[in-house]
């Protein structure tokens, strides 16, 4: 009782007026509320900006696709497709030759002997590739014509847009001054068709030549090579059988066939090509970037999940208090390393080490070793995994620590050992917390930019999955990487610019979904622990 009496003396009675107090209260409320409001508004503005810049993409992409058809580029690409399949077959022949040479070298045959044995095959291969000479001639002529027409059409569309903009803003005289050249598209397209008129005769001639060639194809010394060669022959026959279909396509192709609006969306979401600033045709397909991001994330999680969760279990259940004090801040410190530094480390050390390891004779038995690219999915994934460890560790450790003590005690009291308690009680009880830790780690990984930009190799292509796990050692480009790399160079408002925004939106949606899922899981986990 005496203590209370003393404190009355220590703290003087409040002298401020009620009004002054109200002002202070309001000031406090305004300060904190204002900060929260700024954060909310900024987030809303970012979202609105993203959507505004991004959605313009679809209209522009649609006109881009329409121009592709109207200028006859699509028409030329049909013929180009025929020619490039021929080239692919030609490449297959050289691959067969290479494996043939390797097989012979294993038998320790001298090089001259190998070359002599393969001479008939070489003659066959060069004859094969010669058959397409005429075809390539047609393609290169038509390419020039079509791209010229495209240029003209594009320039005209630009001028028209400029003029209508001037008219809208009221500068009628200035608008008059802009001369829009008339383009005789019909004539140009007719020329295009004339140029390709001999496609049918060329392809018929090529077909005849190839059938003759196939009939007198030389045998190969190595049985495996012979088998591959036979498979190649079947493919070639299939190719030849498909030629009339290409001719048919050319005949029925119409430059004015409508392109439905949804093609603009589907060509983005499902397009397998991302080609920009090309003289021919730009493609904005997100699939190679999406696949790149996903593969890098899978590799990252492959490393980060076991590392993060196992160290969380160790710290929360096994480590002594002293170890805890040491390990926890140490792991959490990883997140303080700037990602660009990690990227350097990835290029200079990890990539180099992985390639060196792949070249060692101990790992020769792995079919896709040695690898050729130092910077690839694996390198980037390793580093990203490392970056995700603190996120997963911290949250998983939280989840494990929050498991009620009673569960642990009950388990031990029933005669469980430590492993059983961890595996049968603690981990199941905190599972949703752990899963959400992994999801948040995934969110971190998929949104990370610098490391993938530096270490993923930046080749815009879908990896060759026929190599199985070897696909992981190929370079890719990612959604985050492409935005960082190309955003600085694009013309503001161009289709490319807007395409990058769309990529950003897709990324935004993915991370939002991941975070939402993670939060739902955390909420459920809290309830189940009660």
> Does residue 404 belong to the site contacting other proteins (CB under 8 A)?
yes
The residue from 336, 413, 466, 491 that contacts other proteins (CB under 8 A) is 413
Residue 117 contacts residue 221 (beta carbons within 8 Å): yes
Q: How far apart are CA 192 and CA 125, in angstroms?
A: 32
Burial class (CB in 10 A: 0-12, 13-18, 19+), 12: exposed
Among the listed ranges 264-272, 404-412, 491-499, 504-512, the one in contact with other proteins (CB under 8 A) is 404-412
Strands, DSSP E only, in 62-161? Answer: none
> Does residue 407 belong to the site contacting other proteins (CB under 8 A)?
yes
Q: Which is nearer to other proteins, 50 or 416 (CB)?
A: 416
Residue 176: other Cβ atoms inside 10 A: 11
> Does residue 323 belong to the site contacting other proteins (CB under 8 A)?
no
Q: Which is nearer to other proteins, 326 or 414 (CB)?
A: 414
Give the nearest distance from C-beta 309 to other proteins in angstroms: 19
User: Which three-class secondary structure state does DSSP give residue 325?
Assistant: helix
> Does residue 410 belong to the site contacting other proteins (CB under 8 A)?
yes
> Does residue 412 belong to the site contacting other proteins (CB under 8 A)?
yes
Give the nearest distance from C-beta 431 to other proteins in angstroms: 10
Give the nearest distance from C-beta 314 to other proteins in angstroms: 16
> Does residue 180 belong to the site contacting other proteins (CB under 8 A)?
no
- Residues 386, 388, 389, CA angle at the centre, nearest 5°? 70
Q: How far apart are CA 368 and CA 9, in angstroms?
A: 83
Q: Which is nearer to other proteins, 347 or 431 (CB)?
A: 431
Q: Hey, what are 122's tokens? A: 């070489």
> Does residue 321 belong to the site contacting other proteins (CB under 8 A)?
yes
Among the listed ranges 214-222, 244-252, 414-422, 496-504, the one in contact with other proteins (CB under 8 A) is 414-422
Residue 406: other Cβ atoms inside 10 A: 9
Which region holds residue 347: left if phi is over 0, alpha if psi is between -120 and 50, else beta?
Answer: alpha
Q: How far apart are CA 388 and CA 452, in angstroms?
A: 13
Among the listed ranges 204-212, 256-264, 420-428, 473-481, the one in contact with other proteins (CB under 8 A) is 420-428
Give the nearest distance from C-beta 416 to other proteins in angstroms: 5
The residue from 20, 30, 41, 414 that contacts other proteins (CB under 8 A) is 414
Q: Which is nearer to other proteins, 1 or 413 (CB)?
A: 413
Among the listed ranges 95-103, 306-314, 405-413, 471-479, the one in contact with other proteins (CB under 8 A) is 405-413
Q: Hey, what are 309's tokens? A: 């969760």
Residues 261-320 that bind other proteins (CB under 8 A): 320
DSSP secondary structure of 245-293: HHHHHHHH--TT----THHHHHHHHS---EE-S-SS--EE--HHHHHHH
Give the nearest distance from C-beta 393 to other proteins in angstroms: 22
Residue 476 contacts residue 288 (beta carbons within 8 Å): yes
The residue from 425, 471, 499, 500 that contacts other proteins (CB under 8 A) is 425
Which region holds residue 219: left if phi is over 0, alpha if psi is between -120 and 50, else beta?
Answer: beta
Q: Which is nearer to other proteins, 418 or 520 (CB)?
A: 418
Give the nearest distance from C-beta 424 to other proteins in angstroms: 7
Q: Which is nearer to other proteins, 162 or 420 (CB)?
A: 420
> Does residue 253 belong to the site contacting other proteins (CB under 8 A)?
no
Residues 458-477 that bind other proteins (CB under 8 A): none
Among the listed ranges 56-64, 146-154, 280-288, 422-430, the one in contact with other proteins (CB under 8 A) is 422-430
Q: Hey, what are 20's tokens? A: 């002054």
> Does residue 429 belong to the site contacting other proteins (CB under 8 A)?
yes
Give the nearest distance from C-beta 306 to other proteins in angstroms: 24
> Does residue 59 belong to the site contacting other proteins (CB under 8 A)?
no
Q: Hey, what are 43's tokens? A: 């987030």
Tabulate helix, strand, coil % of the chain (nearest 5): 80, 0, 20
Q: Which is nearer to other proteins, 172 or 321 (CB)?
A: 321
Among the listed ranges 235-243, 293-301, 337-345, 522-530, the one in contact with other proteins (CB under 8 A) is 522-530
How many residues belong to the site for other proteins (CB under 8 A)?
A: 23
3-state SS, one letter per residue, for 436-475: HHHHHHHHHHHHCCHHHHHHCECCCCCCCHHHHHHHHHCC
The residue from 416, 484, 490, 517 that contacts other proteins (CB under 8 A) is 416
Residue 462 contacts residue 288 (beta carbons within 8 Å): yes
Q: Which is nearer to other proteins, 378 or 525 (CB)?
A: 525
> Does residue 424 belong to the site contacting other proteins (CB under 8 A)?
yes
Q: How far apart are CA 163 and CA 175, in angstroms?
A: 5
Q: How far apart are CA 166 and CA 176, in angstroms?
A: 9
Q: Is the dihedral of CA 344, 346, 349, 355 positive or negative?
A: negative
The residue from 16, 417, 466, 488 that contacts other proteins (CB under 8 A) is 417
User: Which three-class secondary structure state does DSSP give residue 476?
Assistant: strand
Residue 527: other Cβ atoms inside 10 A: 9
- By CB under 8 A, name the binding residues for other proteins: 320-321, 404, 406-417, 420, 424-425, 428-429, 528-530
């Amino acid at each position: 009782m005496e203590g209370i009496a003393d404190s009355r003396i220590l703290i003087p009675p409040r002298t401020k007026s009620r009004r002054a107090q109200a002002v202070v209260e309001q000031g406090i409320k305004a300060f904190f509320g204002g900060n929260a409001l700024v954060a909310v508004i900024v987030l809303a503005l970012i979202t609105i900006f993203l959507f505004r810049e991004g959605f313009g993409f679809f209209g522009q992409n649609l006109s881009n696709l329409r121009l592709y058809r109207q200028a006859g580029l699509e028409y030329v690409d049909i013929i180009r497709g025929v020619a490039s399949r021929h080239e692919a077959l030609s490449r297959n022949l050289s691959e067969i030759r290479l494996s043939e040479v390797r097989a012979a070298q294993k038998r320790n045959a001298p090089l001259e002997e190998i070359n002599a044995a393969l001479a008939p095959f070489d003659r066959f291969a060069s004859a094969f590739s010669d058959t397409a000479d005429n075809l390539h001639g047609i393609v290169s002529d038509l390419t020039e014509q079509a791209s010229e027409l495209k240029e003209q059409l594009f320039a005209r569309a630009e001028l028209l847009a400029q003029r209508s903009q001037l008219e809208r803003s009221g500068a009628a005289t200035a608008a008059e001054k802009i001369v829009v050249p008339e383009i005789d598209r019909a004539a140009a397209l007719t020329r295009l068709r004339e140029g390709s008129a001999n496609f049918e005769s060329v392809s018929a001639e090529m077909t005849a030549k190839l059938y003759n060639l196939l009939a007198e194809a030389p045998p190969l010394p190595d049985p495996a090579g012979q088998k591959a060669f036979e498979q190649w022959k079947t493919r070639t026959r299939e190719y030849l059988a498909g030629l009339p279909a290409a001719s048919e396509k050319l005949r029925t192709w119409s430059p004015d066939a409508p392109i439905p609006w949804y093609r603009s969306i589907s060509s983005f979401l499902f397009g397998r090509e991302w080609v920009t600033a090309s003289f021919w045709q730009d493609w904005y397909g997100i699939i190679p970037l999406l696949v790149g991001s996903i593969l890098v994330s899978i590799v990252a999680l492959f490393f980060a999940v076991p590392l993060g969760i196992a160290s969380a279990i160790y710290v929360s259940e096994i480590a002594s208090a002293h170890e805890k004090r040491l390990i926890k801040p140490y792991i959490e410190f990883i997140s303080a390393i700037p990602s660009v530094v990690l990227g350097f480390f990835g290029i200079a050390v990890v990539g180099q080490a992985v390639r060196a390891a792949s070249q060692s004779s101990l790992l020769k038995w792995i079919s896709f070793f040695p690898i050729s690219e130092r910077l690839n999915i694996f390198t980037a994934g390793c580093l990203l995994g490392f970056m995700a460890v603190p996120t997963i560790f911290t949250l998983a450790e939280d989840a494990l620590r929050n498991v009620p003590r009673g569960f642990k005690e009950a388990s031990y009291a029933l005669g469980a050992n430590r492993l059983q308690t961890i595996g049968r009680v603690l981990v199941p009880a905190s599972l949703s917390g752990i899963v959400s830790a992994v999801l948040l780690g995934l969110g971190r990984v998929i949104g990370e930019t610098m490391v993938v930009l530096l270490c993923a190799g930046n080749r815009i292509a879908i990896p060759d999955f026929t190599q199985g796990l070897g696909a992981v050692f190929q370079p890719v480009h990612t959604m985050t990487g492409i935005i960082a790399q190309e955003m600085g160079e694009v013309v503001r408002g161009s289709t490319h610019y807007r395409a990058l925004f769309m990529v950003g939106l897709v990324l935004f949606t993915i991370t939002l979904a991941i975070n939402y899922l993670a939060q739902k899981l955390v909420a459920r986990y809290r309830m189940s622990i009660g």
